[in-house]
Chain A
Amino acid sequence: MGKAKIKIDKNLFERIKKYAGIAGYSSPEEFITHCLEKEVAKLDEAESEEEIKKKLQGLGYIS
């Protein structure tokens, strides 16, 4: 899988590094990836719920 670089505030990165160790992640990258995946999944879910509504709305009884 390809990798992409992103820029992050240095202070924030220091904090991430600290908590990654405490939370048992093997590296700050792993910690960041995990957090972002969780957030993206939430957004995916929100989108899914929107689609659920759309598909039911065709019935006419609800809006």
Chain B
Amino acid sequence: MKRRQFLELTFLTSLTLASNPPFIYGRGKRETPLKVLILGLDGLDPNLVSRFIKKGSLPHFQRLISQGGFSVLGTSIPPQSPVAWANFITGMDPSGHGIFDFMHRDPSNYLPVFSGTLSEEPKKKISLGEWVLPLSRGQIKLLRQGKAFWQILEEHDIPSVISRMPSNYPPAQTKQRSLSGMGTPDIMGSYGIFNYYTTESGEINPDIGGGRIHQVYVIGHQVEASLPGPVNPFRRDRPEATLDFKVYLDPVYPVAKIVIGHEEFILKEKEWSGWRRVEFPLIPGKSVRGICQFYLKEIRPHFKLYISPVHIDPANPVLPICTPADYSRELVAHLGLFHTKGLPADTSALDNNVLNEAEFLHQDNGFLEENLAMLDFELQRFHSGLLFFYLSSTDQRQHMFWRFLDENHPAYDSQLARQFGQEIENIYIQMDQLIARIEKYLDKKTVLIIMSDHGFNPFIRGFNLNTWLFETGYHKLRNPWVQDKGSLFEYTDWSRTKAYGLGLNGLYINLKGRESQGIVNPGSEYEHLVRELANRLEAIVDPLTGKKPIYKAYITREIYKGPYLNQAPDIILGFNWGYRISWSSPLGKFPSEVLEFNRQKWSGDHMGAAELIPGILIANRKIVHPAPSLTDVTATIFDLFGLQIPLEMKGRPVLKIS
């Protein structure tokens, strides 16, 4: 894939793509003796569950565990959500489903690419002056390999509803109801870009991740600005489509009216708008619709307006987000508009001080409420088969609020800790209340499984893998005096580089025949280098703490044997408790220090060795397997429905059916 193609991402192709993949009506209809309800609570940590149960905060968890079972759940290597959930979806390890990280690299140019989705622009186009008209369709492909368990259930006529499953965008072809989750982009084709409009020049920072800050001016009690939209593929110069809007401010009162496209609404200071529809014009008769939320943070003395990333409109999806094609519309008809972007909580806005903790929580609580309403709706018609429902709030809150659990965390703030120190416990309590909420739907034939993909640990110190590779001579820069400048290996001398780090856990060898400028010969040279690197990485000691930042450097060829091993990093780093890859190493940067403190609000993480941060398994049936893992849960599903476990799957059933 060329750089340009990657840039325009998933979105562009959609404009010429049929709105949804074709499907055949007629999902699974069989009446099953058991019903299986699975709640996927991302990042729910077994240690914290135990701690809060002891404290008496989670009575419903406690009761459920006493009736059934509780176990840690072996996570994936690496324990990243897209990888872990793909293990669960397919019952296979990453070498079987091909997802090894949030991002992979393109060996032809060493640039990062999304691991789960490939977008291809239309192949045939004609240019008419400034305009480009596609003559064929673009494509969006799910890169996860292997059959999803609900596709196999479908073959046996067993109905299932799969809501917001990660690593499933675009959703796997099925007649069953499914809604894509983590990995679903915003309308820009990104993991989420917010927009923030401010008159305070001190807030202007062009170099923030996950958002854009715009300087605006109040003239005559009015603010005029524009909301950036997707790249316009119908124009030769491919500009971003934009939507102009006006904000009218009252001269005295803290109240304003926002007029954008067909929408017009009034907000008081510190009010959220709820979902609003926006439509970006591309060419006459063709536009892209999305939904977003507005938050009027301040009117005076400074005007500050936050606009959330623009999500795909579920009532009129421009990209394929569900199966069957009308499922999201059906949900909108019953529940109103809802978020569609994977991981909707705007952690970037909190990290960059655009939203504060209370505002972040307000927004994420809204997303959680939308999910719970959707779960209620599905539970009301859940009479047979399987229902899987995923929630991301557990993961996102732990990422952002872990700093308040530990006074020694570099981002700890005693004042904020007094106010928000309970937030992680609160989200666990909310999950406890969820168990009470769904209890009325559970009958004797319902098997309830609560699972998480990984646990959590603090992110105190960041490891700059690329800096370490540079300092140890495995990575060469053309001009080392600009070491800490540039990114995406801008100054790398590939003709002398043996290894590079990309993604959140991955180390790649610059292998001849695989990488476009590879120098390491396959065979013994490669084997020796990988072994040498793994040993040296595991031997690193943090001079400040005396701890080893890398608990385990997994040599991928030793732990995985599946058909997609060739896409894997050569070494997967399993970090020690409190450590993680640094902020800038994953995108090919070389900061000056090998180890650095993490002072960001994003303060909890899960990039550790799989042994250190397992997920959790709780069920209303006894757990008979002593050390279950994610793929065992998949096997359990087949066992509960009396089906043979497919040969390619690695797991064993873990629940006692009584």
Contacts and interface: CB of A to CB of B under 8 A. Distances in A.
Interface of A: 44-45, 48-49, 51-63
Nearest to B11: A55
B347 A60 contact: yes
A55 B188 contact: yes
Contacts of A54: 190, 193, 209-210
Given A48-B4, A56-B191, A60-B347, 15 more contacts: A45-B3, A49-B488, A52-B6, A53-B488, A53-B587, A54-B210, A55-B193, A56-B587, A57-B208, A58-B190, A58-B192, A60-B351, A62-B586, A63-B209, A63-B351
A58 to B, nearest CB: 3
Given A52-B112, A53-B209, A58 B348 contact: yes
Given A49-B111, A52-B112, A55-B190, A60 B602 contact: yes
Interface residues on B, range: 35 or more
Majority SS of interface residues in chain A? helix
Interface in B135-194: 186, 188-193
B309 A62 contact: no
B504 interface: yes
9 contacts: A48-B6, A55-B190, A58-B191, A58-B309, A58-B348, A59-B102, A59-B192, A60-B210, A63-B584
B583 A55 contact: no
A62 B583 contact: yes
Interface in B6-44: 6-7, 9
Majority SS of interface residues in chain B? loop
Contacts of B343: 59-60
B1 to A, nearest CB: 12
A52 B191 contact: no
Contacts of A58: 186, 190-193, 209-211, 309, 348
Interface of B: 3-4, 6-7, 9, 102-103, 111-112, 186, 188-193, 208-211, 309, 343, 347-348, 351, 399, 487-488, 490, 504, 583-584, 586-587, 600, 602, 605
B191 A53 contact: no
Nearest to A44: B4
A6 B193 CA distance: 39
A62 B587 CA distance: 8
B100 to A, nearest CB: 15
Contact of B210 (A44, A49, A57): A57
Contacts of A60: 191, 210, 343, 347-348, 351, 399, 602
Contacts of B188: 55
A61 B210 CA distance: 10
Contact of A52 (B102, B193, B488, B602): B488
Given A54-B193, A56-B103, A56-B191, A61 B586 contact: yes
A43 B12 CA distance: 22
Contacts of B112: 52, 56
Contacts of A57: 191, 208-210, 348
The 3 A-B residue pairs with the shortest CB-CB distance in the complex, in nearest-first order? A57-B209, A58-B192, A55-B190
A49 B110 CA distance: 11
Contacts of B602: 60-61
Nearest to B352: A63
Contacts of A62: 209, 504, 583-584, 586-587
A56 to B, nearest CB: 6
Nearest to B586: A62
A23 B228 CA distance: 44
A53 B309 CA distance: 16
Contacts of B190: 54-56, 58
Nearest to B350: A60
A60 B111 CA distance: 19
Which of A44, A45, A58 has its CB near the most chain B CB atoms (within 10 A)? A58
A31 B450 CA distance: 67
B155 to A, nearest CB: 34
Nearest to B605: A61
Nearest to A45: B3
A49 to B, nearest CB: 5
B621 to A, nearest CB: 35
Nearest to A51: B7
Which of B186, B209, B351, B490 has its CB near the most chain A CB atoms (within 10 A)? B209
Nearest to A49: B488
Contacts of B399: 60
Contacts of B490: 49
A55 B9 contact: yes
A51 to B, nearest CB: 5
A58 B4 CA distance: 19
B9 A53 contact: no
A48 B3 CA distance: 7
A49 B191 contact: no
A60 B605 CA distance: 11
A58 B346 CA distance: 8
A59 B3 contact: no
A61 B192 CA distance: 12
